Amino acid sequence: MIEAVEPRLHLHAGHAFHAAVSFQPTGVALVQDFVPDTGQTFALRTDGLVYGWDANNSQNARKRSSSASLNLAYDTFNHMQLGGSRKWELSVPNGRYDVRVVAGDASYFDSVYKINVEGTLVVNGTPNSSKRWVEGTSKITVTDGRLTVTNAAGSVNNKISFIRVALDETAPAQPEPPPPATSGWSAIASLPLARTEAMNVSKNGMLYVFGGFFDNKWDATKRVDVYNSSSNSWSRLPDMPVAITHAATVMNGDNAILVGGYAGNHPGPATSDVWNYNTQTRVWSKLPSLPDARGAGGAGIVGSQLIFFGGAKRLSNNTSETDFSNTWSLDLNNTSAGWKAKAALPNPRNHLGYATTGGKIYAIGGQYRDRETSANQTSVHVYDPTGNKWSSVASLPMALGHIQPTVNPANGTIVVGGGVTNGFTNTNRIHVFSPSQNRWTVAGTLPAPRKSISLAFHGNTLIFAGGGNNLALATGFKTTWSTAARVLPAGDPTPRDPLFSSTELAQVVL
């Protein structure tokens, strides 16, 4: 069933929220491009959306099998006032939406259709023998995370057939806010090109940013830039051989290694390519390809072993993704031997964070398939290459995907900045994991909510560059910030509330 429904839940090319819901009885054929509502109470559905009624309404769903129906979406409906006044809701990110609601019944016209969405009258009309359906469209603003559909005053025998909801991509983007005065963050030299879903690595005070999406069409760039923290300046480096996003990227000595990813503009296909960029010679070269194409997976290096795990695969021009549990290893001292299969990742997912510290590799959060809106994960697993074993460790305090962690060199803790949580909401929280304590804390906040940011340390300075913001309708930002981190030892016993999100900190506690 999930396989059949999945294509009907999608994000537009710019990852904008979209849902089409058909109200119908259980067992009725699925309507093309719709997900079914069969009258169940509000809950997470197998299609990845969260929606439903304030009370079970399944007994009031109908299918007419009428030749008068324009198509199956018009042929089915659910009563909104039979046995009591019912309310229906859909979980959405806060924002402005284009909403279309269709009400009607192919067999009867004994109704007065008046339906509110978020208190705005969207459907308003009386059917007759020649016009059985009444519909309406409106721009609706949601501020509480739920789009609410109710009976309006004066309605009689309301029946809802289907609803379409799409984020209004013409709504003005939110301006980039300045760093809060009390946050301890300072604006530094901006990225030369705004981008998100880029890859990054850092070494010796240099932050390297590769590729990513750079415009509102979600076009990918080959561009490579490096930030020098000593001079507070960016420099352009030789372009990547191909435009890639979502590659797992790690540093091996002077070499940045990009594993897999999605090729070209969104929605590009997964690739099996593995690229090596030498930061000293500035030369690109190829390493042995992965056994299969993967995008948005994770990677790490322990000794000479390059480990890749998880991620997803999709075809060109198709946003639907399939997650994989494969873990593969490549000996960088003997690349001709190729990739070797290792223990499988316990919870297959993509858009996960990854980090290596203490000789172990961590898989952090992530999402299922293309469900950025509702299937972000709290799972954290650690891979021990010496025993070829994955183990569960403390979960994230909140479900997160689209994260690119960094390791604090002062104490080996893992720092996660921002990300996407369920509800398609970006966070500004900074989460820190202590491997020795097996504990997550919230150490502070970014100056603005972001996903897919480039994050790195230079000494005790934390640098945060670019990234995107779903609700700002912005593909990416140029803004770069830094803050002086007050570093606590890895075994610091000081408890902090994992839900803490104040921006009142003078310094980020790491």
Q: Which of 451, 449, 424 is nearest to 18 (CA)?
A: 424
| Mean pLDDT, residues 213-221 | 87
> CA geometry: angle at 197 spanning 196 and 203, to 5°?
95
Euclidean distance between CA atoms 424 and 135, whole angstroms: 28
Instruction: Give the other-Cβ count within 10 Å of 12's Cβ.
Output: 14
CATH of domain 2-167: 2.60.120.430
What is the pLDDT of the chain when averaged over all its residues? 86
Confidence of residue 227 (pLDDT cuts 50, 70, 90): very high
- The pLDDT value given to residue 505: 32
Token representation of residue 200: 């990054």
Residue 182 has a pLDDT of: 36
* pLDDT tens digits for range 31-71: 878 999 999 999 877 666 789 999 999 999 999 999 999 99
| CB 209, CB 200: distance < 8 Å | yes
| 185-509: in CATH 3.30.559.10 | no
Pick from 168-172, 203-207, 354-358: least confident: 168-172
Check pLDDT > 60 for residue 96: yes
User: For the residues 473-499, what does the mean pLDDT come to?
Assistant: 57
pLDDT band per the 50, 70, 90 thresholds, residue 257:
very high
Look at residue 485 in the predicted model and tell me its pLDDT. 62
The domain spans of the chain are: 2-167, 185-509
pLDDT-based confidence at 497, cuts 50/70/90?
Answer: very low
Give residue 391's identity as a one-letter amino acid code.
S
- The pLDDT value given to residue 171: 62
CA angle 34, 38, 42 (to 5 degrees): 95
The token duo for 351 is 């858009």
Contacts of residues 110-114 at CB distance under 8 Å and 24 or more positions apart, as own/partner, are 110/156, 110/157, 111/155, 111/156, 111/157, 111/158, 111/159, 112/154, 112/155, 112/156, 112/157, 113/155, 113/158, 113/159, 114/151, 114/152, 114/153, 114/154, 114/155, 114/158
Q: What is the pLDDT averaged over residues 454-461?
A: 88
203 membership: H or E segment, kind and range:
strand 199-203
Residue 484 has pLDDT above 80, yes or no: no
230-244, 294-308, 398-412, 491-505: lowest mean pLDDT where?
491-505
460 secondary structure, DSSP code: T
pLDDT at 120: 97
Establish whether domains 2-167 and 185-509 are of one fold.
Answer: no
Does residue 401 register a pLDDT over 80? yes
Predicted local distance difference test score (pLDDT) of residue 489: 46
Greater pLDDT, 489 or 161: 161
